[in-house]
Structure 1
Amino acid sequence: MSAEAERSPSAPAERLKRHDSLYGDAEKVSNEKLHGSGVRTDRGSWARTLMLAFQSIGVVYGDIGTSPLYVYSSTFLDGIRHPDDLLGVLSLILYTLILIPMLKYVFIVLHANDNGDGGTFALYSLISRYAKIRMIPDHQTEDATVSNYSVEAPSSRLRRAQWLKEKLESSKAAKIGLFTITILGTSMVMGDGTLTPAISVLSAVSGIREKAPHLTQLEVVWISVAILFVLFSVQRFGTDKVGYSFAPIISVWFLLIAGTGMYSLAVHDTTILRAFNPMYIIQYFSRNGKEAWVSLGGVILCITGAEAMFADLGHFNIRAIQISFTCILFPSVALCYMGQAAYLRKFPQNVADTFFKSIPAKPMQRPCSGRCSWWRSWRAIIASQAMLSGAFAILSKALSLGCFPRVEVVHTSSKYEGQVYLPEVNFLIGAASVAVTLGFQTTANIGNAYGICVVTVFSITTHLMTVVMLLAWRTPPALVAAFYAAFGAAEFVYLSSILSKFVEGGYLPFCFSLVLMALMAAWHYVHVLRYWHELERAVPAAELAAVLARRDVRRVAGVGLLYSELVQGIPPVFHRLVDKIPSVHAVFVFVSIKHLPIPRVAAPERFIFRRVGPVSDRVFRCVARYGYTDTMEEHTEFAAFLLDRLKLFVQEEAAFAGGPVQMAAAAVEAAQQFIDDEAARGVVYLMGEATVTAAAGSSVVKRLVVNNVYGFLRKNLRESHKALSIPKDQLLRVGITYEI
């Protein structure tokens, strides 16, 4: 089924020549909710938005909201050398919080969501709607007419966007570059989601030894493993329940740290408020030189987890994140940092344990009592939650865009569609976190460059946002340049500081991310090669008629649904099927499951039908289109829905074709009844099981990727029929080998 040229709405004669279901379906969505409607965008009720804002406190801000526990101690590793260094570091913290999480994410990046969904893949899919940058050639003109696609072609007056669109579409290097940084950003978030629980829990439980010094390090490690097991076990309950469970705890936490900060300001030193003058940052660097630059690795911890606001956007909505950040998180953590700085002006020797010693209480006999250990444990669990939710959300998008092996996606809330849980991924991340905990047992080396994943994601988001601003938003170049210069420069400075400790342990999160990125790239690479291989060997429509006319081929009762990834032409596995089993069902449909680069596709626009061959053959092609947050129907529901739409297509086909009304009505009724009768005789699902191997003469690298990496992932992760929920007793699998 080749893509057709775009058609103008003012050409009704040309529309009547079409014999597919596109226009009939597209006209039925006027009353459907568009992407991001309801709870997912700002059009939801304020009560629901406030409810989501409350949930987001427990999910999104666990990491960034608990960073006051360790920022000063991580920044002043060798103690406070000059009293005004506190003013310089506090100024850095405040303006870092204002610049990156608030200005960049809350007020700019969140608005670049893909109809309610965030993360690096949401930016990539948004770009791919304005320019054909995807490497799988499954683009169809009909996709842009989906009511929720929300894309306006660049006009001749906007030459900037048109020029960039042409450059991206004509440059293979640009396509590969955009895809590479997208999967790198995704891998960094997943790597952070793997390491954050291990580092946080191990660090928190280590504090128990202050109260129970008889514990050995090995016992601390096994306690950490037990907590990790609980943390990953509760993920199956979903963001909805987890958010409501953690939100009250985090809300109380924010109230307490804000109150403690105000108390310390009033009691110790109100002059610390001078830190709002950025001149103290300049003086800090002038006074300390290289040491000040190295200390940025500690300062950046104040925004660790900020990228979760965008990654977790699909779980909530823009307004909910904006409310919770500006009204709850920022005032609370800013007051806490200011209060700690005021305390340290009087007691600089306590910088190693500033947070707990600055809490107003009876004089403490020890640096930290038992309640500190409990706070640390809660902090570890809650901080990990933000990154896990973000990893699930982003990976679900990568999965549907063909960039990750098939895994199960469970939508955990009936009210909020973006809240997902991936059981297999949860297990793999949990196993990796436990392995890191058991293998390293301490966080000394791992924590040296803890923010490397986070700052890399910040930088990747800035680069992708620049393309979005030019291509989709069509922002004036001066504003785009200002955005890129301001945020790009700040992130580069922080990244350079963190990389200075790369060899001291910072390589671990980076290596984790590179491994994940390599797996994603290998899967997508072979996926693209396989698609091109099938496309080049697709069976011509004229040859189909010859196959059906063969004497040894008979038509059998029932409906046959042959699944294929091709959206153009007849898959080559059909030839093999007929050669091995020379029979074709009375009603035969070539079905392609296609994921569009948008979150959701309205139900009336789900299917595109087109007849293959003459009416008497009763062979059709169907493309079932889903957004990357849509849930696949259960097999019986899918088949019923498909056949209902097929009958509607037959009716619309007759209407578009013209002819005597009474005769057309009779023919339509007979054809629809035939479909019902054959469906009652049984629906059989047919699927090509392709074994992919590297062709003779391939390079060593290609053989390794195709035969080993891709083969291993395909064998050990979710099979196609399981992903489509097809029962084995109704499935016929046809084996075929592709040498690519």
Structure 2
Amino acid sequence: MPALALGAIGVVFGDIGTSPLYTLRECLKAAGGVSPTNVYGIVSLILWSIIVVVTLKYVCFVMRADNDGEGGILALTALASEVAPVRLRRVLLTLGVFGAAMFYGDSMITPAISVISAVEGVTLIDPHLSEWIVPIALVILTGLFDLQKRGTGAVGKLFGPVMLLWFVALAVIGVTNIVGRPGILLAVSPTYAFVFATHAPATAFIVLGSVFLALTGGEALYADMGHFGKTPIRVSWLVLVFPALVLNYFGQAALVLSKPSVISQPFFESVPSWALIPLVVLSAFATIIASQAVISGAFSMTKQAVQLGLLPRIPVVHTSSDEIGQVYVPFINLTPYVAVVFLVLFFRSSDNLAAAYGIAVASTMLLTTLLMYFITHCLWRWKPVATFAVIVPMALVDLLFVSSNANKVMDGGWFPLLAGAALFTIMTTWHKGREMVVQQIRDDSLELAPLIQSLTTGEHPVMRTQGTAVFPGGVADMTPSAFLHNLKHNGVMHQINIFMAGSTDNTPHVSDDDKVALKDLGNGCYSVAVRHGFMEIPNIPDVLRLLERRIPGWHYDPADVSFFLGRDTIVATGKSHVMSLWRERLFAFLARNAAQAAEYFSLPPNRVVEMGGQVNL
């Protein structure tokens, strides 16, 4: 438990843990400046928003909805789709895909705003260093993204202790400033938030968009649940992270009441001058760790999306021989890096970035609440009264934050929305395109069992050759095009022929006992249905080792097996009534640029034979 809790502190809470760098500053800026009503009301709003959204919603409620131990919006979508009425499953898939797309869009801002807000502390050391903020931030971010290909295992060991020091520092700094003005603790009462909201409703509504900055990263508590488990995350949050954050926010509030002139940088002004340089350095490390958590989360979500058929095959590099979860996705690493560099150069300050931050992740939180309705109603079998009593208030709070962030669209919120919309289009196009291809194959292909029967027991049986032929990635019960091409060009069948059709379950992992279902077609031919979880990457050699126990007298010898793959060229014809021509062309483009099937299935390159074909949409 202590080790898991320390790991959770280092990985899970990086984003929400660095929010004190800029949240109170942006809230006071939105409120129009420092006044007792503003300060007490805002810090009370921050406290109760964290209690309601993070503690009650995520820690106490949403984390109960684990998908075989895994969390995150795609895992939740898979779980909800499993239990929801069939007619609603496509709707739920759309909601989940949209939420994942919004996560990607907003996660591009996290490294930019976190690192640049930490570097801005150098201006208190020397105001002339302000012109170096952007170059320093770009150097740090470039080093961070370059580090990904080396794996996070070694660096990850440092995450926990550094973030533990960070949260202890937050608490100590907060207590030091509260002692100077203990009256700020009265803001624990929600009446101050109520008075602030009723005194100037329009201003309070705008301020809520900045208050939400204290909640970004709350979704990570659920998304990273599979890495550490519920209990370590809950213990870390309740014992250390939550108290440290609250103390620091209250400490900053006490400071700005005593010295309104520090409103531009209340976090760094909270310490004496001798502690400023160490705090800037510690802040830089904390923001790097926060960025690392977001990048790793994007890698994991990409792996899930590929397995669920929402993205084309993307090369995934395992950076650890011991931990299967430690992966590096080169394309996903490059895309956010380019986006982050653009954001830093375009917005140039954490003030400007804060105006773009929040709207996309607020949408993801709302979608999580809507998906939780199906979990409570269909899976947990709650009574309708209990379901609505919990879901409706949470949805109203989420709607309030989404609407309060809507005014950020013109100030920069368009960027995560645009990035999310582009990814949503790609994911839905790929999913629909795959369905069309599978249907086209079913319409044009021959049924496998009757064809095998005619080829092996007819009047003119096909000549057989030694060895084993494996045909991965086929459609269940249909003849793979690679098999027909092999017959056409070589005129032979192997002694053993294994036809594989894969599917992805709505669970993260499938046990070895349930992974394969074998059907004997006779005369050395076998149809195999292969099931994988959405957290697994298909490995055909491992599947063949499982089949050794199922096929009598057969032994898997890599030197004796040939893998026949069909490389189909997708042609956009514009004749489909399902997708428009531009989406057909987008799907064809994605298919051409997908990772090679041989690499994706972990096949030995020198044993692979590829046969070309064409599919007209």
Same fold (TM over 0.5): yes
Query: What secondary structure is seen at the aligned counterpart in 2 of 1:501?
Result: helix
What TM-score, normalized by structure 2, do the two folds share? 0.93
Seen in structure 2, the aligned counterparts of structure 1 residues 84 and 443 have a Cα distance that, compared at 3 Å, is: closer
Asked if 1:57 is matched to 2:21, the reply is no
CA contact (8 A) 1:73 1:351 kept: yes
CA contact (8 A) 1:284 1:292 kept: yes
For 1:646, give the aligned amino acid: R
Provide the residue aligned with 1:82 in structure 2. Answer: 35
Stretch moving more, 600-609 or 232-241: 232-241
Provide the residue aligned with 2:450 in structure 1. Answer: 542
Where in structure 2 are the equivalents of 1:152-167 lying within 5 Å? 165=84
Output the CA distance in 1 between the equivalents of 2:388 and 2:416. Answer: 31
What TM-score, normalized by structure 1, do the two folds share? 0.78
Output the CA distance in 1 between the equivalents of 2:144 and 2:440. Answer: 44
* CA deviation vs aligned residue, 1:682-723 (integer Å, no higher than 9, x gap): 21101111112234534796322222x223223333111110
Provide the residue aligned with 2:95 in structure 1. Answer: 181
Provide the residue aligned with 1:570 in structure 2. Answer: 479
CA contact (8 A) 2:21 2:267 kept: yes
| Of 2, 22, 25, the match for 1:73 | 25
* CA deviation vs aligned residue, 1:615-645 (integer Å, no higher than 9, x gap): 3x22110122221223444x55543443x13
CA contact (8 A) 1:198 1:437 kept: yes
For 1:704, give the aligned amino acid: W
Output the CA distance in 2 between the equivalents of 1:533 and 1:336. Answer: 60
**Pairwise CA distance, 1:458:** 0.8
CA contact (8 A) 1:694 1:702 kept: no
Asked if 1:486 is matched to 2:364, the reply is no
**Pairwise CA distance, 1:526:** 0.7
| Of 271, 280, 283, the match for 2:183 | 271
* CA deviation vs aligned residue, 1:570-602 (integer Å, no higher than 9, x gap): 335533432233211111110123221111111
CA contact (8 A) 2:34 2:260 kept: no
Asked if 1:527 is matched to 2:434, the reply is yes
**Pairwise CA distance, 1:415:** 6.2
| Of 47, 56, 63, the match for 1:103 | 56
Provide the residue aligned with 2:253 in structure 1. Answer: 341
For 1:603, give the aligned amino acid: D
**Pairwise CA distance, 1:681:** 7.4
**Pairwise CA distance, 1:442:** 4.5
Provide the residue aligned with 1:625 in structure 2. Answer: 531
**Pairwise CA distance, 1:457:** 1.2
CA contact (8 A) 2:454 2:461 kept: no
Query: What secondary structure is seen at the aligned counterpart in 1 of 2:509?
Result: coil
**Pairwise CA distance, 1:274:** 1.9
Provide the residue aligned with 1:153 in structure 2. Answer: none
Seen in structure 2, the aligned counterparts of structure 1 residues 724 and 442 have a Cα distance that, compared at 3 Å, is: same
* CA deviation vs aligned residue, 1:286-337 (integer Å, no higher than 9, x gap): 2122111101111111111111111111221111111111111001111111
Provide the residue aligned with 1:42 in structure 2. Answer: none
Seen in structure 2, the aligned counterparts of structure 1 residues 590 and 108 have a Cα distance that, compared at 3 Å, is: same
Provide the residue aligned with 2:196 in structure 1. Answer: 284
Provide the residue aligned with 1:600 in structure 2. Answer: 509
CA contact (8 A) 1:594 1:625 kept: yes
Output the CA distance in 2 between the equivalents of 1:243 and 1:490. Answer: 35
Q: Which has the larger radius of gyration?
A: 1
Output the CA distance in 2 between the equivalents of 1:550 and 1:182. Answer: 54
* CA deviation vs aligned residue, 1:92-122 (integer Å, no higher than 9, x gap): 1111111111111111111111111111111
Seen in structure 2, the aligned counterparts of structure 1 residues 544 and 698 have a Cα distance that, compared at 3 Å, is: same
Seen in structure 2, the aligned counterparts of structure 1 residues 339 and 207 have a Cα distance that, compared at 3 Å, is: closer
Output the CA distance in 1 between the equivalents of 2:211 and 2:343. Answer: 25
Where in structure 2 are the equivalents of 1:96-175 lying within 5 Å? 96-130=49-83, 165=84, 168-169=85-86, 171=87, 174-175=88-89
Counting aligned pairs with the same residue, the percent is 30
Provide the residue aligned with 2:561 in structure 1. Answer: 683
* CA deviation vs aligned residue, 1:395-420 (integer Å, no higher than 9, x gap): 22111111111123445556665444
Provide the residue aligned with 1:498 in structure 2. Answer: 405
How many residue pairs match? The answer is: 614
Output the CA distance in 2 between the equivalents of 1:621 and 1:601. Answer: 19
**Pairwise CA distance, 1:374:** 2.7
Query: What secondary structure is seen at the aligned counterpart in 1 of 2:550?
Result: helix
| Of 591, 596, 610, the match for 1:719 | 596
CA contact (8 A) 2:116 2:137 kept: yes
Seen in structure 2, the aligned counterparts of structure 1 residues 603 and 89 have a Cα distance that, compared at 3 Å, is: same
Output the CA distance in 2 between the equivalents of 1:274 and 1:680. Answer: 71
For 2:47, give the aligned amino acid: L
Seen in structure 2, the aligned counterparts of structure 1 residues 468 and 536 have a Cα distance that, compared at 3 Å, is: farther
Seen in structure 2, the aligned counterparts of structure 1 residues 216 and 98 have a Cα distance that, compared at 3 Å, is: closer
CA contact (8 A) 2:166 2:286 kept: no
CA contact (8 A) 2:481 2:566 kept: no
Where in structure 2 are the equivalents of 1:210-609 lying within 5 Å? 210-211=124-125, 213-214=127-128, 217=131, 220-236=133-149, 238=151, 240-268=153-181, 270-359=182-271, 361=272, 369-371=276-278, 373-412=280-319, 418-540=325-447, 541-548=449-456, 549=458, 551=460, 553-609=462-518
**Pairwise CA distance, 1:58:** 1.1
For 1:622, give the aligned amino acid: V
Output the CA distance in 2 between the equivalents of 1:344 and 1:215. Answer: 24
Seen in structure 2, the aligned counterparts of structure 1 residues 632 and 543 have a Cα distance that, compared at 3 Å, is: closer
Output the CA distance in 1 between the equivalents of 2:350 and 2:263. Answer: 19
Stretch moving more, 345-354 or 245-254: 345-354
Output the CA distance in 1 between the equivalents of 2:445 and 2:300. Answer: 35
For 2:146, give the aligned amino acid: S
CA contact (8 A) 1:189 1:387 kept: no
**Pairwise CA distance, 1:538:** 3.9
Provide the residue aligned with 2:614 in structure 1. Answer: 737
* CA deviation vs aligned residue, 1:173-214 (integer Å, no higher than 9, x gap): x33321111111111222222221123333433443554555
Output the CA distance in 1 between the equivalents of 2:352 and 2:172. Answer: 34
Query: What secondary structure is seen at the aligned counterpart in 2 of 1:500?
Result: helix
CA contact (8 A) 2:572 2:588 kept: no
For 1:639, give the aligned amino acid: L
CA contact (8 A) 1:558 1:679 kept: no
Query: What secondary structure is seen at the aligned counterpart in 2 of 1:108?
Result: helix
Where in structure 2 are the equivalents of 1:630-641 lying within 5 Å? 630-633=536-539, 636-641=541-546
**Pairwise CA distance, 1:441:** 4.1
**Pairwise CA distance, 1:607:** 1.4
Seen in structure 2, the aligned counterparts of structure 1 residues 56 and 67 have a Cα distance that, compared at 3 Å, is: same
Output the CA distance in 2 between the equivalents of 1:453 and 1:403. Answer: 19
CA contact (8 A) 1:607 1:645 kept: no
For 1:568, give the aligned amino acid: D
Query: What secondary structure is seen at the aligned counterpart in 1 of 2:549?
Result: helix
CA contact (8 A) 1:63 1:383 kept: yes
For 2:5, give the aligned amino acid: A
- Structure 1: 5+ residue stretches without partners: 1-48, 131-164, 651-671
Output the CA distance in 2 between the equivalents of 1:449 and 1:495. Answer: 13
Output the CA distance in 2 between the equivalents of 1:100 and 1:69. Answer: 20
Seen in structure 2, the aligned counterparts of structure 1 residues 474 and 419 have a Cα distance that, compared at 3 Å, is: farther
Output the CA distance in 1 between the equivalents of 2:305 and 2:410. Answer: 30
Stretch moving more, 390-399 or 294-303: 390-399
Query: What secondary structure is seen at the aligned counterpart in 1 of 2:249?
Result: helix
**Pairwise CA distance, 1:344:** 2.7
Seen in structure 2, the aligned counterparts of structure 1 residues 81 and 51 have a Cα distance that, compared at 3 Å, is: closer
Tell me which protein shows more helix as a share of its residues: 2
CA contact (8 A) 2:119 2:136 kept: yes
